[in-house]
Amino acid sequence: MRFAFRRTPDRPLDTLAPVLHDVRAVVFDTDGVITDSVKVHAAAWKVAFDGFLIAHPPEDPGRRRPFDEQDDYLRHVDGKSRLDGAEAFLTARGIEASAETVRAVAADKERLFTERLREHGVEAYPGTVRLVKALRAAGVPRAAASASRHAGELLSRAGVLGLFDVLVDGGEAARLGLAGKPEPDLFLEAVRRLGVSAGRAAVVEDALAGVEAGRRGGFALVVGVDRAAGADTGARLLRHGADIVVRDLGELCAGGAPQ
């Protein structure tokens, strides 16, 4: 841990795990951390990518396999903007796609995701809601940050938008020219709006690019959320920059035991 400050003694911290007692602000990623929307994103990417691979098969037969909603999602698109994610996956399949092609694949994914979002909606993870409310009770400012332009709609539909003091979404990132993850720009803008330095704040992320961004940004604490619970998914998060990894954010409330 890289804490170099002392907590304010009059804050009601009894509902938070000790690892959060010195944190002055917390920035939460949205997809997979606050809302259960990763499956919707992954399903939309799969339809978009698989359709493209069928129409434009890579020269190497070994790279013609369909998009994997867990492994490919985590490696190439999780936590990134649509354009960066589309380009990363196509490159991994040996496809030198033009900017126009990347935009077309990303637009197809956007259409598919929007259709699914309107039809089914999303829910917030109960453990995350519990933690955010505990932070609010302790007077710790909270921000939601996401590369997605849908972040505000997702949080609103899940009924949790009002729990956050600040939202920095993909639209704001584009307007401000913020670099995408693994660069820390999105998170640094969030803590700037909260009035807290990165060295006194925590980042909560489920994406490899996201925990790396937290590390690069000099955040005091980087929490990795391992929803996949795969054989090495937690270890990957640690290798990319997480200080601790939890399966559910309720573990960071009093009585939890983050590993």
User: For 150-167, what is each residue's pLDDT tens digit?
Assistant: 899 889 989 999 999 999
Residue 258 lies inside a defined structural domain of this protein: no
Pair 97, 215 in one domain: no
221 and 184, same domain (yes or no): yes
SS (H, E, C) the chain: CCCCCCCCCCCCCCCECHHHCCCCEEEEECECCCECCHHHHHHHHHHHHHHHHHHCCCCCHHHCCCCCCCHHHHHHHCCCCHHHHHHHHHHHCCCCCCHHHHHHHHHHHHHHHHHHHHHHCCCECHHHHHHHHHHHHCCCCEEEECCCCCHHHHHHHCCCHHHCCEEECHHHHHHHCCCCCCCCHHHHHHHHHHCCCHHHEEEEECCHHHHHHHHHCCCCEEEEECCCCCCCHHHHHHHHCCCEEECCHHHHECCCCCC
> What's the average model confidence in pLDDT over 123-130?
96
Any idea what the CATH number is for the domain that residue 99 is in?
1.10.150
pLDDT band at 5 (very low <50, low <70, confident <90, very high): very low
Statement: the pTM of the whole predicted model exceeds 0.85: no
Which amino acids are annotated catalytic?
Answer: 29, 31
- pLDDT on residue 1: 36
Q: Does one domain contain both 235 and 182?
A: yes
8, pLDDT greater than 80: no
Instruction: Find the domain containing 157 and state its range.
Output: 18-37+124-252
pLDDT tops 90 at residue 241: yes
Residue 88: per-residue pLDDT: 95
- 248 and 142 in one domain? yes
Domain identity same for 225 and 192: yes
Least confident of 66-70, 72-76, 209-213, 227-231: 227-231
Q: Report the domain count for the chain.
A: 2
The model's pLDDT over 79-106, given as tens digits with 9 standing for 90+, comes to 788 899 999 999 999 999 999 999 999 9
Query: Are 237 and 129 members of one domain?
Result: yes
Query: Could you read off the pLDDT of 197-239 as tens digits, one per residue?
Result: 999 999 999 999 999 999 999 999 999 999 887 789 999 999 9
Q: Is the pLDDT of residue 37 over 60?
A: yes
Domain annotation covers residue 154? yes
Q: Considering 120, 135, 157, which residue would you say is the last residue of a domain? A: 120
Reported as a pLDDT band with limits 50, 70 and 90, residue 258 is very low
